[in-house]
Every structure is written in C-alpha cells, then in structure tokens.
Structure 1
Amino acid sequence: MTNTEAPPRPELAGRATELVDLIRKHAGWQEENRVLHKEVLQGLRDTGLLKMRVPVRYGGYESDTSTVCDVIAELARADVSVGWTMNTWMIGCWLAGLFPDEVQDEIFADPDVRIGNSVSPNGMAVPTDGGYLLNGRWPFSTGILHSQWFAHSAVMAVEGGDPVPVVIAIPAADLTIVDDWHTVGMRGTGSVTTIAENLFVPQARVLPMLPLILQNQHLSERNADSPVWRVPFSPSAAALAGAVALGTARAAREAFFERLPGRKITYTNYELQVEAPLTHLQVAEAAVKLDEAEFHVRRAAGRLDAKARTGEPWTMEERAVARMDMGAATLRAKESVDVLNTASGGSSIYSHVPMQRIERDMQTISLHGVLHPNTNLELYGRVLCGLEPNTYLI
C-alpha cells in the first residue's frame, strides 16, 4: 500500500470520547501508581488511536493535525496524563516517519507501536564502526514505561568541528530506567529518567536535527509526498502540546459544573453558589479564557493542515507564531483553570475531587520548558522586533 492509498479514516475524536469514562475510572489509580492503567492502554489500542500518525503503508491513518489535536484534547479532558502521553507518542510517531524507510520497517512492524521522544539533547553520540556509541541521561522520558521505541535527542561528535544535534531511534528495552518520577502533577505519565551507557546505535537510526527542523529535510523517500511529513517539526509539535492544555481547561470546566448544583458559599448568605453574582462573573471569565485557548490551538492546527496540503514554505514569523499559539493556549487554559479552582472552595482539596488534580496538572504543564508561556511570548517578540530567534526549536 502506498501513501496515496489511505484506508478509510474513522471519526477518531468520537472514539476518544468513548474512552473518557474508562480513563476517568482509572485516573486516581494512575496518579497513585505513576503509570497508565493497562485497561487504558488497551482502550487506546482497540480504538485505533495509536495509529493516527503511523504511515498508511503500515496500516496507519496519517491523520491531519486538527484530528490529532481533537483526540489529544479529548483524552486530556478525561485525564491530563493520558492526553500528554498520547501527545508524546504522536510526536514520536511523526519523528519515526522521518528516518530511512528500512528503519521505519522495523519500528512500524506493529502499527500500534508506542514511540516516546525527548527534544533535550542530553546525550553524546561518538562515531564508531557502523554507527555510534551513545551515552546520556534524559529526565522527563514520558511514555517510556509503555513504549517499544524512543526517539532521544543528543549531540553527535564531529571530528574537527562542533557537535551537532541529532535524533536517535532506540529500542526502549536498550535504555536503563531510573524510577524518579515523584512529582506534584501529571504523575500518571510516568515520565522517569532514562540512561544510555555505551549503547551502540546503527548509523541509519541517527537523524541530523537541524536540517530536519530548519529545512524540513529528512531521510524517508516513501513519506516525502505525505502532507503529514511536509511540515516543520516545531510548529507540528507545538499544536499537539497546546491541545493538552486545552483539554485540561475543559476538564476543569466540566468538573466545576458537576459539583455546582446544591453547593453554597460558606460564611455568606448565599444558600446556592449558582445564584451568586460572583459565580456568574467567575464562570464567564473562565469560559472566555477557555474559548481563547481553543482559538490558538485551532489556528495552529489549521495553519499546519493548510500549508501541508499546498506545500507552501514557512516564514520565520509563522514559525514563531506557532510557538506563540502554544504558549498562549497554555496561558489562557491555566487562567481558566485557576478561576474555576478558586471558585471550587475548600471542599475541592479532597483527593477524590477531580479539581485538585486538574489544578496541579495544569500548573505542571505550564512549567514545561517548551510550553512555558513567557518563553514562547519572548521568542515571538524577538522575531517581531527583527532579531534572530534564541532557539533552534522553531
């Protein structure tokens, strides 16, 4: 099957919605055990959601960015840890689709393969016969506990020159795991640290990062004409990550309104919170901020899909806007969650009340090095002022 002979694409966002109750059933367990539940993993597999960014020749769907964002937001609405892990796996699948086709034949032998990834080059690859020896230590290795492969970032030693950043495809079983994921938020992602010690990596599994990011050059011949792989890395990853923040804000809204009927405002004359003008102001403010977060995610995804269809090149400002959209979506989503958390009162601090977990997860997302609103807004401002970006992840 060629890339142009795609199978019928199911309505995947609806399939994600069908999983919401199952995921919520296990949300507390996932947080306590710092890992995704086996029934949640099976649900993701049974619904075909793991195939969204798998090439069609391996039985995947090659879903567009808008579809993937819709699915991720729905999964995050159920449990942020599931949404974030799916976001990581979809970026991992996309990265795998850039490697030489013979490497993809190995990685995508199972079309439901789960591929984690990291973008921090915390390893060093040194040339050796037939490939490289890799040493490194990567914190925040989301998905590794359930992944068959991992796309780690590193720097490659170059004789007589400066090291260059690369992406390396590694079987998950080849990595050493350090169980250090003891956090206040997004605990279910199991984002432990991974280590490689003198690990041999064949040359075909090492992909130069800068040509990939800046010129969209990759090593796959069979994916070259697919719209999914005709977009730059950073804008594509940014849209998916922003969808997690959007789903988190939706979760907060739903959790708040589920508890609103019958609640009072303690130490006031309001027997019903729903009748208080303060409540009306709070829910309206949260709703507006949620709408703004959705705007940024949908704009980012729509731009990617439109430019992927036409093959139109990306300007530096468009790349910066993509990062800004992610940061702005995260900022507005966090503000929406914060308003509703404040309006939820003291009873929301109990561990069985979803709002307290949603608030902690949202805070954790907003502190992520790539999603951090301040970082992304500064980058956008630099480009608007005619300066060079202060990162290669653009």
Structure 2
Amino acid sequence: MTDTKVPSTPDPGVEVAGRPSYGRLTSGEQALVAAAADLVPLLRDNADRADRDRKLPEENIAALRDAGLLRLSVPAAYGGHAAGMRTLLAVLEEVGRGCASTAWVLSIFYSGGVFAGLLGDPVRQRIWAGNPDTTLCGVIGVPVPVRTVEGGLVLDGQWGWASGLHHADWIGLDVVTERDGAPERGVALLPTAELSTRDTWHMAGMRGTGSDSVVAEEVFVPEEQFLSFARSATGAYRRGGEDEALTRTPFPEGLMVPFIGSLLGMGRAVYEQIVEKLRAGRPVVSAASLHARAVDAPGVQANVADAATLIDSAVLQAGRAADDIDRAAVTGAALTPVVQARLRVDISYAARQIRQAVDLLLDVGGASRFDLSSPVQRIWRDVGTASRHPAFTAEINRERYSRLLLGLD
C-alpha cells in the first residue's frame, strides 16, 4: 500500500476494550482494519457452525472477499493490497475477535500469496490475472519426497494438515527432490483441483480451519511452479520496487509471525465477553464472599487487570516482530541471527501471554463459561490448540535466543 501516512501522535499503547493502536498505518491500511472489524458480528454468529462442521462457512469466505481481505498479499500489479505485516496483524486481530478459525485461514492465505508472489510473471498471471481474489494455502514442515522429470516434478504422496484447504484455489506443498546427486527442498504450487482430500482434522480446537490432508497421485507440476528454498536464501526471487516489498519478506520468520494474529483476536474476544458479564453485575455464588457482585471483589479486579496487561504485552511483542519483518521487507536487509531468534521468542511468549490471560479471565468468569452453549469455551479450546503450534514452541526458541545472547553460537 502506497498512500499517504495519516499523521498521528506517538502510539500510547493498546486499549484492550477498544480498537488497538497499530502505529501509523496509512489511510488505506486503516480502511482494511475497519473492514475487518465490520465483519466481527457475522463471523461471531457463524463461529459455532465452523466449529461443528470442521470448516468455514462459505458465507465467511464471501465476506472476506467482499471486504477485499483476500487480496492482502496479492501484488499491486494484479489488483492486490501488498499489505505489510503490521497491517496483517491488525486485520487478523479483528477477524479473530469474531472467529479464530477464519483469522487463522486468512493468515494462511496471506502467506500463500507471499509465496506465489516470488515466482515468475507467467505463474503470477496464471494465478491472479483473471481473479485477484484467488486463495492459496500451504503445508510446510515435513517435506515429502517427489521425482524430478523433464520440465518439472511429479508428486505422489500425502500432506497434512492443510489449513484453509476447503476454500483454497491453489496450494503450496513442501517437497524434496534429488538434483545433481543432492537433495533440494522447496515448495511446489499447484491448483487444489488436481489433488484429493482425506478427512484427518479431528481436533479439540481450531476445528473450523478444516485442516485436512491432501493427496497427490502422480501429479505433474511445471518447473516454473517450484520455489527452491536454497535459491530463495540467495535472494533469487526478490524484486525491486516499493510495490514488491513482500518478495523481500524474510523466510521463514515472515511466515511464522502471521500465526499470532488470530490468537490476539481470541484474547480480546474472551476479555470482551467476560468483562461484559462482570459489568452487567454477575453475582458471586459463594457463602464465603464479602461481595454480592463479582465485579466488586478485589481479586476479580486484579485478574482483569492482569489479563488486560498480558493481552497488551502480547500485542506489543507481536507488533515489534511485525515491525522487524516490515523493515526487512522494505529495505531488503537480512535479519541478524539474534533478531531472527528474538522474533520467534516474541511470538512464542505472545501466544503464552494470551493463554495465561484467558485462564485468568475464566477464573473470574464462572463455570458457566464452559457450558457448550457459551462461545467462551470454544475460544478456550481454540487458544489451547493454536498456542501450541510449532511456531510457538518457546522451549526451543528461547534456547537458541539465549545461546546467541551469551555468545555460545
């Protein structure tokens, strides 16, 4: 996005009960965040259905499309917003207030667009020239061996779990092949219509992401639709110009940071619902209580303050990570090893802070929040599942960070 920055005072922080501040977004970026916020009532109404059906309602995808949010990472040349990470997290936080699974899938679509944008113009035109709202998901983590043949690759295997699969037009699959006697790993992009699916997504939380598995049976992928990790590390896919900044997104950190956006929205959603109940005068059901209303108890007040602070801290840490990604994309400068490690720690701790905040709020929200009719119990399951994604493994991320800080690596 290239429109003029809106003048603002220095960012004073985040108001949990209101719309958070994300620094100096442009007017166009602010419009995207506002469009996401407008979708919250619809997404909230559909969230139980997404959880029950284990995939997003078509109505949710249509709403994202109508709001222009499927174009967040589409290059400007193809009618997209080419939005940076700060904008993405602000959008995802709003979407996540309404439906955690929808926000997660939208983050996947964003990353899919970043990957596709790295490829040559013929492939980009194939994907977006006729439809800038084309959606791309992906599976990266465990590469599946494939064969190199003349003109491309032949895929035969299974990949899981593919979040957003049921609403994606294209998909990027983590593959490894042998070339010149050495393994070469990368992502093969192809239309989802060329694959079959297997019903493998049976989870306690984030059920609406529909993260089933995909199966390829002797599927040919042209060489021009293969993105080599080795070549990407050398900057081979980068493009110049302000509108192509996303092609300079640091990998893999630039694909990990988006995941935190939906969790920020979940934290705010639980906060808003619990605080609303407390303000409405929820009674204390305890013979030992000195207060008729829960809101008047100092312990309840302390939990709310602590939860708000944890959510604020998570937003601030995520925002710092987003700024690092955006700065690297704009300047083309590589992230230092210390910054790479800190980015992972930032989002890991942000995820933990959201989980802790939700637990504190539930401690004062009452056992009725776990009734199956309460949306809070669904969000609690979503937080528990999403915050344990491999991107948020603090036990591993902090070891790497500490070794760099101490000069051991």
Q: What is the TM-score normalised by the length of structure 2?
A: 0.88
**In the alignment, which residue of structure 2 is the partner of 1:233?**
251
**Deviation at 1:164?**
2.1
2:291 corresponds to 1:266: no
Aligned to 1:105: 125
How many residues are paired up?
A: 383
The superposition leaves residues 153-191 of structure 1 with CA deviations (integer Å, 9 ceiling, x where unpaired) of 111222422x22111101111121001211100011100
The one of 323, 327, 335 equivalent to 1:302 is: 323
The question of whether the paired residues in 2 share the 8 Å contact of 1:121 and 1:155 is answered with: no
Counterpart of 1:206 (choices 209, 213, 226) is 226
Could you tell me how far 1:5 is from its partner in structure 2? 10
Contact 1:330 1:372 in 2 (8 A): no
Contact 1:107-1:113 within 8 A present in 2 as well: yes
Q: Deviations over 1:266-289 (max 9, x none)?
A: 223332110111101110110111
- TM-score normalised by L of structure 1: 0.92
2-side partners of 1:98 and 1:224: how far apart? 15
Opposite residue 140 of structure 1, the aligned amino acid is W
User: Offset of 1:222 from its aligned partner?
Assistant: 7.4
Q: How does 1:46-195 map to 2 (within 5 A)?
A: 46-109=66-129, 110-161=131-182, 163-195=183-215
| Structure 2 counterpart of 1:349 | 370
Q: Please say if 1:363 is aligned against 2:384.
A: yes
Return the offset for 1:378.
2.5
Q: Deviations over 1:47-81 (max 9, x none)?
A: 10111110011100111211111001111111110
Kindly provide the amino acid, as one letter, of the partner of residue 312 in structure 2: D
Residue type of the alignment partner of 1:240 = P
One of 334, 338, 357 as aligned partner of 1:336:
357
Partners of 1:29 and 1:305 lie apart in 2 by 35
1:4 is displaced (CA, Å) by 8.1
2:344 aligned residue = 323
Q: Which amino acid aligns with 1:193?
A: S
Q: Which deviations, in whole Å up to 9, do the C-alpha atoms of 1:311-352 show, x marking residues without a partner? A: 333211111111111111111111111111222221111122
Other structure's SS at 1:141 match: coil
After TM superposition, the structure 1 stretch with the greater mean CA deviation from structure 2, 347-356 or 257-266, is 257-266
Runs of 4+ with >6 A deviation: 3-6, 222-225
Aligned equivalents of 1:32, 1:146: Cα separation in 2: 17
Instruction: Give per-residue Cα distances to partners, 1:74-126, cap 9 Å, x unaligned.
Output: 11111110110101110000010011221111111310011001211331121
Task: Tell me how far apart the structure 1 counterparts of residues 331 and 110 of structure 2 sit (CA, whole Å).
Answer: 23
Deviation at 1:237, TM superposition (A): 1.9
**Structure 1 Cα separation of the partners of residues 2 and 94 of structure 2:** 28
Q: What is the aligned partner in structure 1 of residue 274 from structure 2?
A: 256
Are residues 5 and 282 of structure 1, via their aligned partners in 2, closer, same or farther at CA, if it must alter by over 3 Å? Answer: closer
* Per-residue deviation, 1:381: 2.2
For the residues of structure 2 that align with 1:5 and 1:55, how far apart are their CA atoms? 15
Q: Give unpaired runs (5+ residues) of structure 2.
A: 5-26
Partner of 2:15: none
Deviations 1:181-239 (CA, angstroms, capped at 9, x unpaired): 11100011100111112211111111111332x44432x65779722222212222232
Q: Distance in 1 between matches of 2:241 and 2:134?
A: 18
Q: Against the structure 1 CA distance between its residues 190 and 25, is the aligned structure 2 distance closer, same or farther, given a 3 Å change threshold?
A: same
What SS does the corresponding residue of 1:120 show, helix, strand or coil?
Answer: strand
Partner Cα separation in structure 2 for residue 4 and residue 350 of structure 1? 47
Q: Is the 8 A contact 2:50 2:207 kept in 1?
A: yes
1:392 is aligned to none
Q: Deviations over 1:12-66 (max 9, x none)?
A: 0000000000000101111101111111111100010111110011100111211
Q: Percent identity?
A: 32
For residue 379 of structure 1, what is the aligned residue in structure 2?
400
Counterpart-to-counterpart distance in 2, 1:170 and 1:262: 54
Output the aligned Cα RMSD. Answer: 2.2
**Residue segments in structure 1 that go unaligned for 5+ positions in a row:** 389-394
Letter in 2 for 1:254: E
Residue 98 of structure 1 contacts residue 223 of structure 1 at CA under 8 Å; is this kept in 2? Answer: no
For residues 88 and 179 of structure 2, the distance between their equivalents in structure 1, rounded to whole angstroms, comes to 37
State the Cα deviation string for residues 124-160 of structure 1 (Å, max 9, x = none). 1211121111123222100110000001111122242
Secondary structure at 1:195's aligned position in 2? strand
Matches of 1:125 and 1:91 in 2, distance apart? 23
